[in-house]
Amino acid sequence: METIHSTSRSRPAKRLGTTVNLPDALDAPRRELSSKALGRVAYYEDIPAQAQQTRPLLLIHSINAAPSSYEVRPIFDHFQGRRPIFSPDLPGFGHSERGDRNYSPQLYADTINALLNQVIGEPADVVALSLSAEFAARAAIANPDAFASLALISPTGFMNRAMPSPRTGRFAHGALTVPLWGQGLFDLVASRRSIRYFLNQSFTDKAPDDLIDYAYATAHQPGARHAPLTFLSTRLFSRNASDTLFARLHPLPVLAIADRDPYVTFERLPAFADARPNWYFETLAPNSGLPHWEHPQETCETLSRFWERNSVSAIPVKSPTRAAG
């Protein structure tokens, strides 16, 4: 059984002789959802009294070496005070538990559904970034009544290139997590220089310093290497996700926003969305994977139009796909 309780505002941590403070990612109360299966999952919530009658919004950050709820901050800040809004630090990241465990797509899908069922308790509009789009789709297939809509920002699963086989992923994970060099490898990936380099690739100009600073802090917590090394092994990706996951979301309204991304491509996405009456596609160009950081107002307006368009019917009337820019 899950338990829910409030928690402290920040957590100091020691790593390699250095004390690193991890402040809250969002200006909102941070709480915890705990269970034997999920471990301890931190999440932020803001439930304004005047927005009780509006539909809840759940924001899911991406998966990389140093993700957290800070990644969704522009969207959270925009809608805060207007509607109930929630954002978790997924297992292995942020203020959530970071033990040496089996991190899997099912674990993350189960976390999303636990938040929807145990915390939110009514159908929500869900927004997921990058690889977490696959986890959200998996969650929606298992728990469709908990989703009012699903918006995917730079979703994985639409490349022409196939993902490595599960066997390759298991081999890579074993190699990456060897104690002799696993921590050292992660230390290189999680250095400030490395984080700045990789985040800069996700912006057409430069990544904001505050995003870099928080990514560095969250990557320097006890156990920070475990989930990212699983990600680097490719074990968190689903093979043929467009067919095995995303094609099964009908009649759920789905919005995909994607232009360019240095780490994934979207060759199959425009035709995939155009062929399905419940899917909508926008580019919000130019962006390099994080349009809600580069074009926050336009991104939030696009999300709002999508939610308004699909507020009545679960099977919307298809409007023409628009490629912005």
User: Does residue 317 belong to any structural domain of this protein?
Assistant: no
Q: Give phi and psi for 32, each to the nearest 5.
A: -135, 145
User: Does residue 319 belong to any structural domain of this protein?
Assistant: no
Q: What is the CATH number of the domain that holds 271?
A: 3.40.50.1820
Cα(70)–Cα(76) distance, rounded to whole angstroms?
A: 9
User: Does residue 156 belong to any structural domain of this protein?
Assistant: yes
The tens-digit pLDDT sequence of the chain (325 residues) is 455 555 544 444 444 434 479 999 999 999 999 999 999 999 999 999 876 678 999 999 999 999 999 999 999 999 999 999 999 999 999 999 999 999 999 999 999 999 999 999 999 999 999 999 999 999 999 999 999 999 999 999 999 876 666 666 564 556 666 666 667 788 888 999 999 999 999 999 999 999 999 999 999 999 999 999 999 888 999 999 999 999 999 999 999 999 999 999 999 999 999 999 999 999 999 999 999 999 999 999 999 999 999 874 433 333 434 443 3
Q: What's the domain range around 118?
A: 3-309
Total of domains in the chain: 1
User: Does residue 77 belong to any structural domain of this protein?
Assistant: yes
User: Does residue 207 belong to any structural domain of this protein?
Assistant: yes
Q: Are 43 and 115 in contact (CB under 8 A)?
A: yes
Q: Are 158 and 263 in contact (CB under 8 A)?
A: no
User: Does residue 320 belong to any structural domain of this protein?
Assistant: no
**Buried b / exposed e across 49-69, counting CB within 10 Å, b at 16+?**
eebeeebbbbbbbbbbbbbbb
User: Does residue 239 belong to any structural domain of this protein?
Assistant: yes
DSSP helix/strand/coil, 126: strand
H helices, E strands: number in the chain:
12, 11
User: Does residue 321 belong to any structural domain of this protein?
Assistant: no
